[in-house]
Amino acid sequence: MSHIQDKVIIITGASSGIGEAAAKELASKGAKLVLAARREDRLKKLQDEIQNNGGQAIYKVTDVTSLTQMEELAAHTLKKFGKIDVLVNNAGIMPQAFLNENKVDEWDKMIDVNIKGVLYAIAAIVPSMRERKSGHVINLSSVAGHNIYPGGTVYCGTKFAVKAISEGLRQEEAMNGTNIRVTNVSPGAVSSELLETTTDPTMKAGLDEFYQVAIDADRIARAIAFAIEQPSDVGINEMIIRPTVQV
Ligand code: NDP
């Protein structure tokens, strides 16, 4: 039997890209999905599609920058399904620009969604995993969480932070014997709506060129499923998944 069957899995940023692809992949393997993001029309459409294909999914409109909304998402999931097995901390934005353009508002937004959003989800959801002494947190970092490049400074900073949070969480949960697994997933270029969050024209042109080699989001979804379906005494802690031809 698949180790995904009947697992209750919350995915943030499920309304497009990697989150949407992960929801479809995990639903096809028998998971009970809770889809979270801000765009209700997209969440409802995905929920209906999964249900029409015989899968199980519900959704809750959630802004990850609100701790209250994250707590409501956790409470809603526990009420509906009685437990949370996996959190896929996937919501993210990438408004890249050179530092000398002083896009402070975009820095704030990236920090709020990419770092604080990940931490708020951990704050709201992991306590119930600790109580059950069972769980799995999958955080979406990036190759930008391993390498820095001009124009990517703040985005890279947020993704380095995600990597640090993943490793710190892993060590603390291991130390405390909570049996919570932590996986840090670092994709390279993946086709999604992420590039649309970059407003700077020079940066956008460079990214459009770079993303010509992008792979489909279902490739990352499969890697996420692989991490989940390992036996519970195995933690896949780091995954870097690039297009083969990405330099
Ligand atoms: P998309 O833009 O397609 O998806 C991003 C998702 O995040 C959307 O569902 C969006 O939903 C959600 N989101 C954004 N802001 C919020 C918020 N405040 N609250 C809740 N949800 C939010 O991009 P990807 O699928 O590519 O990105 C998913 C993750 O993967 C991100 O963390 C990204 O940094 C990471 N990644 C992506 C790579 C790529 O090349 N695509 C490479 C490396 C990492 P909504 O707008 O409805 O709220």
135 DSSP 8-state letter: E
92 has a pLDDT exceeding 90: yes
Q: Which residues have a catalytic role annotated?
A: 155
Residue ranges of domains in the chain, CATH in brackets: 8-92+117-142+163-186+216-241 (3.40.50.720)
What pairing do the DSSP bridges indicate for beta strands 86-89 and 8-12?
parallel
Point out the ligand 1 atom lying closest to the alpha carbon of residue 114.
Answer: 32
In 3-state terms, what secondary structure has residue 227? Answer: helix
Q: Write the ipTM.
A: 0.99
Distance, CA of 31 to CA of 56 (rounded, Å): 7
Regarding the beta carbon of 142 and ligand 1, being less than 6 Å apart is answered yes
Distance, CA of 101 to CA of 106 (rounded, Å): 11
Tell me the per-residue pLDDT of 141-189, one tens digit each, with 9 for 90 and over.
999 999 999 999 999 999 999 999 999 999 999 999 999 999 999 999 9
Point out the ligand 1 atom lying closest to the alpha carbon of residue 65.
Answer: 18
Around Cβ 193, how many Cβ atoms within 10 Å? 12
pTM above 0.90, yes or no: yes
- pLDDT at residue 1, rounded to an integer: 43
45 phi and psi angles, rounded to 5 deg: -60, -45
